[in-house]
DNA sequence: ATATGTGCAAACTCTTTGCATGGAG
DNA sequence: CTCCATGCAAAGAGTTTGCACATAT
C-alpha cells in the first residue's frame, strides 16, 4: 500500500463515513462529501473509495437489485437486510450462515441470496492453476 | 403475461438453456444462441431473457464480483459457489440458510455473502406504504 | 392483415481513465 | 520543488430503448 496524501477530499469522505454507519452508494457519498468540500467530483469519490477500501478503512458490498455500496470495515462480521418497502439497507447482527437462519423479530423475509466464494474441489486438489 | 410469439430467436434461447444447466451470462447466451440463429442480436437476447424470466422459464441471478447470470427456473431451491480459481459457478444442493453451513466436501470457502430481502419491522407494522 | 418481435444504432447508467493543473509533503 | 491527487471530459462495460422492417398468428 503506497503512501496516501491526506487531502481535503479524502478527509471529507472519511468524515462522511464517520458520520454515518449505514452502507452508502457512490452518489450519496458524493452528495454528502460536497457538504465538506463542494468542488469534489465523482471521479475523485470513486478513486478515494477504491483507495480507502484497499487500505482497509472501507468495505464494498454489491447487493443484487440494490447496487454497490460502501461501509466502514471496522464493523464486526454481519450481513444485510434490504427492505423493499422503504428501500433501506439494515445491518444484521451476527452471521446467518453460522447461527442458522437468524432474522430479527418483526422482519418478514421474502427471499434471500447466499453466495459462497472460494476454491472448488477440483481446483483445490491438483491444479497449480 | 401477454401472449408470446414463438419466434426462432426465442426457440434458440430456450434451446440454449435446455442444453446447459449452469448459469449463463448474456454474452455467452448470445454466442450459444447464434449457433442456432446466426442473425440474432444482443438486444433480442436481453429482451427474450426478460420475457422468459417474466413467464417463469428463467431466473436471473446477480452475483457480486461475477455479474448477472440466468438459469432455468425449474431447478429446486439452491445457492451458488463461485470458484475464483476457475471462474466457474457451481450449483449447491440444498439451502445453506436452512441446513446450517453446508459446503460440499473438498470445497475451500474463502468468503460468503448473504442477502435477505423482505419487509422490515417498521414497514411490516403500521405503514400502508 | 395486423400487431408483436427483431436488428441496428443510439441512449443511458455506472465506473474507469487520460491529461493538464493544483496542492501535500 | 516534486510528485501524487484532483477535476473534467472522454471512454468503457453492461443494459435499455426508438424506429423501421420482418414475421408469427
Residue-wise pLDDT for B8-45, tens only, equals 999 999 999 999 988 999 999 999 999 999 999 999 99
Tell me which chain A residues have a C-beta less than 8 angstroms from the C-beta of B105: 121
Place of cell 418483526: A106
Confidence (pTM): 0.79
Beta strands in chain B (DSSP E): 58-63, 67-72, 79-83, 88-92, 108-119
Using CB atoms, pick whichever of A64, A114, A120 lies closest to residue B79: A114
> Which single residue has its CA nearest the C1' atom of nucleotide C24?
A5
Using CB atoms, pick whichever of A97, A104, A120 lies closest to residue B81: A120
Give the mean pLDDT of A76-88: 73
Eight-state DSSP code of residue B82: E
Other CB atoms within a 10 A radius of the CB of residue B110 amount to 11
A16 against B87, higher pLDDT: A16
Residue-wise pLDDT for A25-75, tens only, equals 999 999 999 999 999 999 999 999 999 999 999 999 888 778 899 999 999
Given an 8 Å threshold on Cβ–Cβ distance, is B118 in contact with A83?
A: yes
How distant is C1' of C6 from CA of B73, in Å?
25
Place of cell 437476447: B45
B95 against A30, higher pLDDT: A30
A98 against A20, higher pLDDT: A20
How distant is C1' of D3 from CA of A31, in Å?
29
pLDDT, position A107: 76
Q: Between the CA atoms of A63, A66, A70 and A73, what dihedral angle is there, to the nearest 10 degrees? A: -40
Nucleotides on chain D within 7 angstroms of protein Cβ: 4-10, 14-18, 23-25
Does B56 score more than 90 pLDDT? yes
Q: What angle do CA B12, B15, B18 make, to 5 degrees?
A: 160
The C-alpha atoms of residue A14 and residue A55 are separated, in whole angstroms, by 12
Find the nucleotide nearest A48 (Cα to C1′). Answer: D5
The C-alpha atoms of residue A21 and residue A89 are separated, in whole angstroms, by 11
In terms of Cβ atoms closer than 10 Å to its own Cβ (0-12, 13-18, 19+), residue A43 is exposed
The C-alpha atoms of residue B66 and residue B25 are separated, in whole angstroms, by 9
Which residues are CB-neighbours of A58 under 8 A, at least 6 positions away? A17, A49, A52, A70, A71, A72, A73
Using CB atoms, pick whichever of A98, A108, A120 lies closest to residue B90: A120
The C-alpha atoms of residue B118 and residue B99 are separated, in whole angstroms, by 20
Separation in Å, CA A64 to CA B60, B63, B119 = 10, 7, 16
Assigned C-alpha cell, B4: 408470446
Nucleotides on chain C within 7 angstroms of protein Cβ: 4-10, 14-18, 23-25
Give the mean pLDDT of A73-95: 75
Amino acid at each position: 500500500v503506497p503512501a496516501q496524501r491526506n487531502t481535503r477530499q479524502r478527509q471529507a469522505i472519511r468524515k462522511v463515513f464517520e458520520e454515518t454507519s449505514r452502507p452508502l452508494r457512490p452518489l450519496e457519498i458524493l452528495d454528502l462529501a460536497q457538504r465538506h468540500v463542494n468542488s469534489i467530483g465523482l471521479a475523485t469519490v470513486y478513486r478515494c473509495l477504491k483507495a480507502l477500501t484497499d487500505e482497509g478503512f472501507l468495505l464494498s458490498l454489491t447487493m443484487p437489485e440494490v447496487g454497490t455500496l460502501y461501509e466502514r470495515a471496522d464493523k464486526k462480521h454481519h450481513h444485510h437486510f434490504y427492505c423493499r418497502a422503504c428501500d433501506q439497507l439494515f445491518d444484521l447482527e451476527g452471521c446467518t450462515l453460522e447461527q442458522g437462519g437468524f432474522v430479527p423479530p418483526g422482519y418478514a423475509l421474502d427471499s434471500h441470496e447466499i453466495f459462497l466464494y472460494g476454491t472448488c474441489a477440483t481446483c483445490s486438489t491438483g491444479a497449480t492453476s
